[in-house]
Amino acid sequence: MGDLAVRRVVIENAYITPVVGEEIPCGHIVVEGDRIAAVGPGPAAAVPEGADRVDGSGCLATPGLVNTHHHLYQWAAQGVMPDGTLFEWLMASYRLWARLDAEVVSGAATAGLAWLAKSGCTTSTDHHYVFPRGRGDLFEAEIDAARRVGLRFHPCRGSMDRGRSQGGLPPDDVVEDADEILRATEEAIQKFHDPSFGSMLRVGVAPCSPFSVSGDLMIRSAELARSHGVRLHTHIAETADEDEHCREQFGMLPVEYLDGLGWLGPDVWLAHCVHLTDKDVRRFAETGTGVAHCPSSNGRLGAGIARVADLLRAGAPVGLGVDGAASSEMTPLAGEIRMAMLMQRARYGPSALTARRALELATIGGAGCLGRAAEIGSLEAGKLADIALWRLGGFHAAIDDPVVAFAYGQTPPLARLLVGGRTVVEDGELRTVSDAAAAEAGARAHRRLLGAA
């Protein structure tokens, strides 16, 4: 952050969709340091000395996109069991994941975060839950990658303690001991978590799923997170198989089970939430529990279509996520806006989710899930300068409404991506690391993981 004082950027002549507040057909955004200093119609009233002036003619400015669910390590393990159900795919994947080390995680996270940046993402979470013994500091490896790529990062220390011998799904050799998990999680919070306004890094606590984690660890994880004021995350209600597993093992459905463990609340956001009862939808809204909707992954695994329209109607917070690349193969975050819109319409009709509402999910909705709606997710003076500028010329120019042009068809190229005022992408190419180096890091991680298996 050494160059913070000299970050001055002025974008002019752009169509601005601030997400909160009125759209501005031709306006300016002034960035000073890591914050937005001004947003408004027409040219900027005052251009700071030495500012990087960007002509946004023919461009759409949106808030940077927020990714609420990911497993970055999976970049190294894509294409496994391409036609399997969630449980079939997991069973095939656990063996490979057991070979992870810090080098694989570093390369996979570099490629995964670079790919996110190239699709307009400025803040991403990650959920890492596989920690084979003696393979280096996997959590720190992904944090280093996020620093290099330049994204705002919310890594979650995940976990699994319920192996097959305890009635769980994963083999016993990929799970950890609960005491060890809690010790390592607390250490990660103390070492890396930064709660300040403008933070580039916040840690979350994220046991993996009801079928790989004990109830005892769920309860103790929630106590630990709440004692440190950090957020809670897990997978829930992803597939019909999971419903069956929970009925058999716990005598109730997944969300009822979570509720009983004290795991619904405004400090919790949950991935998938495909199979919800009406009561579950109400409970999410009542408790302010967030949902990370991952439509491509749900489609890839044939999990179903989440009740996003119902959740929004009830008032529950909803964000978008790409999920791990092993179950969504290079899904671009901006593409999830289109996917969410189309899948909701396929289920509920053409008015179920508009392009503008889907953009809200990808920005302010995701910011809410991560507890950062006051800092990111909209273009407003005083907020952090996380901005995506999309180029709508060329083939996109035949659609008049810029938000429709952005959301309906192929995602337009990025003219700029700013994270805290710093240019991470320019003219479609990364400026922090190179495109070629990030792609090669991912390919090398994949070869290393396969070579080790």
Q: How far is the CB of 52 from Zn ion (least distance, A)?
A: 37
Q: Give dist(CA 153, CA 140) in Å, integer.
A: 12
Q: How far is the CB of 245 from Zn ion (least distance, A)?
A: 16
In the bound complex, what is the minimum distance in angstroms from residue 94's beta carbon to Zn ion? 14
Burial of 413 (0-12, 13-18, 19+ CB in 10 A): middle
Q: Which of 64, 146, 16 is nearest to 367 (CA)?
A: 64
Distance of CA 370 to the CA centre of its chain: 9
Contacting Zn ion within 309-348 (CB under 5 A)? 323
Number of other CB atoms surrounding residue 311 within 10 Å: 22
CB of 76 to Zn ion, least distance (A): 15
Q: Which is nearer to Zn ion, 333 or 419 (CB)?
A: 333
d(CA 265, CA 233) in angstroms, rounded, equals 11
- Shortest Å, Cβ 324 to Zn ion: 5
Number of other residues whose CB lies within 10 A of the CB of residue 55:
12
Least distance CB 423 / Zn ion (angstroms): 30
Least distance CB 89 / Zn ion (angstroms): 11
CA angle 144, 149, 150 (to 5 degrees): 95
Pairing of β 268-272 and β 59-63: unpaired
How far is Cα 158 from Cα 176, in angstroms, rounded to an integer?
A: 11
Helix-strand-coil split of the chain, %, nearest 5: 40, 20, 35
Residue 126 binds Zn ion (CB under 5 A): no
Residue 208 or 430 having the CB closest to Zn ion: 208
State the number of binding residues for Zn ion (CB under 5 A).
1
C-alpha closest to that of 66 among 369, 355, 317, 357 = 369
When the beta carbons of 65 and 236 are compared against Zn ion, the nearer one is 236
Complex with Zn ion: residue 145 or 274, whichever CB lies closer: 274
Q: How far apart are CA 109 and CA 148, in angstroms?
A: 10
Least CB distance to Zn ion at residue 39 (A) = 34
Q: Residue 239: what residue type?
A: T
Q: Which is nearer to Zn ion, 242 or 323 (CB)?
A: 323
Nearest to Zn ion of 280, 323 (CB atom) = 323
Q: Smaller CB distance to Zn ion: residue 69 or 396?
A: 69
The closest residue (CB) to Zn ion is 323
Q: Where in 158-197 is the site for Zn ion (CB under 5 A)?
A: none
Q: Return the number of the residue (27 or 295) whose C-beta is nearest Zn ion.
A: 295
Toward Zn ion, which CB reaches closer, 142 or 323? 323
**Nearest distance from C-beta of residue 73 to Zn ion, angstroms:** 11
Helices vs strands, H then E, count in the chain: 15, 17
Query: 211: Cβ–Cβ under 8 A, 6 or more apart, which residues?
Result: 162, 168, 169, 242, 245, 246, 249
| Residue 34 DSSP code | T
Binding site for Zn ion (CB under 5 A): 323
